[in-house]
Amino acid sequence: MNKGLVILFLALILPAAVLWANEDQRIVRFSFYGDSIRFRYDKSQSIDFNEAALSDASVNRFYAAIKQKDYTAVFNALNDYKTEKQPDDWLYYQLVRAIAQQISPKEKNYLRYTLYKWYFMLQSGYDPLLSINGNRLLFYIQCDENIYNIPYRMKDGRQYVCLNYHDYGSNIDFDRFPFAEIALATPQHHRSFSYKVTRLPVFPATDYVTKELKFSMYNQTYDYKIKVNPKIKTLFANYPTVDYNTYFSIPLSNETRASLITMLKKELKGLSVRNGVDYLMRFTRYAFPFEEDTYQFGQEKRLTPEQTLLYDGSDCEDRVLFFYYLVKEIYNLPMIVMVYPQHVTIAVKFHKPIGVPVIYNGEAYSVCEPTPQKEDIRIGQLLPQLKKESYEVAYVYKP
């Protein structure tokens, strides 16, 4: 049998990440959130990098060397995925990370792994930069959005945010250890990286597990079973804190959405809009334990709706995001997000306001408190401790 056909056959049936064509050449094949990624790679493409000798000069030598190598197969794999799946930048970068891991494993040579990521993003049209302090290498990407819990640098009036801060424990004292940008003669790209996630991969059904949700409301106990995908945790593990409008664009994965929204629509059948929204408010309030981010994660971390279903606890911001998603999906009503110094809540615009309305731009909204409280808070009621507090409307949704 033809050797090439044998290799192709093995690639189709074996789950292994690497298939060897000969001593020097291999076919890299791995699964990426339900999709099979495949490209040829040989030893001649490998570049040595001494982790103990990080400097401007060593990085420039790496760049000079990698420009002489043929990475067409890698970029074909990236472009094929981009063309077929139309991924957002965040998902595309996760694929870049996965490919860099196959070529230069992070645990074997972290600096080289980081340089591969930097080069692949550069060649993909983005505008990255590198900075160093001693033996630490930070990798930045140009981004115009507000990012709150990772470092950034300004260059020529443009913002660059750090993509690998988490690899250093998200804990660097930049006053004690100032980083200097590495001067590299790279092409001038102007594609800005965006953290907006508007679509998720089509995960295989085998990725999902069943989660039980129990809660009580109006002296009745509910017990639901929904499908959730633990790989969402991995996908958003290093996702930073961003503006609300970015978070509100993140959907549920297909099977989770199908199981959750179908179940809720069945429960809400026959209810008025007011009673249906009340149900969603109390479901959000009581179906998940409350937990502060600092206790659960050690820092501020806003959860996507699906992460709220996956993690053991969630705080007021997470519940606002989750409740917003449910109301938008099922009733598609106007909403505003109200941010207080120590709390976040949400208000919904009904046909007629309920309780004491919140007036915003001449329109009446009714507060729907999705976070558990000591007392029963109804639609249209604001927490007593917030009545004299000032707030900011951080997000407005109008269908």
Q: What is the pLDDT of residues 112-143, one digit of tens each?
A: 999 999 999 999 999 999 999 999 999 999 99
Question: Can you list the domains of the chain with their CATH numbers?
Answer: 46-181 (no CATH), 205-397 (3.10.620)
Pairing of strands 363-367, 344-348: antiparallel
Query: What confidence score (pLDDT) does residue 258 get?
Result: 94
218: enclosing H helix or E strand: none
Query: How many C-alpha atoms does 386 have within 13 Å on its Cβ side?
Result: 19
Tell me: pLDDT of 7 over 50.
Answer: no
Indicate yes or no: pTM above 0.85. yes
Tell me: pLDDT of 224 over 60.
Answer: yes
Q: 182 or 387: whose pLDDT is higher? A: 182
Core vs surface per residue 129-148: b (16+ CB within 10 A) or e: bbbbeeebbbbbbbbebebe
Task: Please compute the mean of the pLDDT values over residues 70-82 and round it to a whole number.
Answer: 96
Tell me: pLDDT of 81 over 90.
Answer: yes
Tell me: pLDDT of 101 over 50.
Answer: yes
Query: Which residues are CB-neighbours of 119 under 8 A, at least 6 positions away?
Result: 63, 66
**Percent of the chain whose predicted confidence (pLDDT) is above 70:** 92
Task: Return the closest-CA partner of residue 324 out of 248, 385, 255, 235.
Answer: 248
37 close to 98: Cβ distance less than 8 angstroms: yes
Question: C-alpha distances in angstroms, 203 versus 40, 95, 364?
Answer: 25, 15, 41
Q: How confident is the model at residue 11 (pLDDT cuts 50, 70, 90)?
A: very low
Query: Which residues are CB-neighbours of 211 under 8 A, at least 6 positions away?
Result: 225, 226, 227, 228, 309, 310
Q: What is the pLDDT of residues 39-58, one digit of tens each?
A: 999 888 889 999 899 999 99
Query: What confidence score (pLDDT) does residue 6 get?
Result: 35
Tell me: pLDDT of 22 over 60.
Answer: no
Task: Please compute the mean of the pLDDT values over residues 101-108 and round it to a whole number.
Answer: 95
Tell me: pLDDT of 18 over 90.
Answer: no
Q: What is the pLDDT of residues 291-314, one digit of tens each?
A: 776 666 766 778 899 999 998 888
What's the mean pLDDT when you consider all of the chain? 90
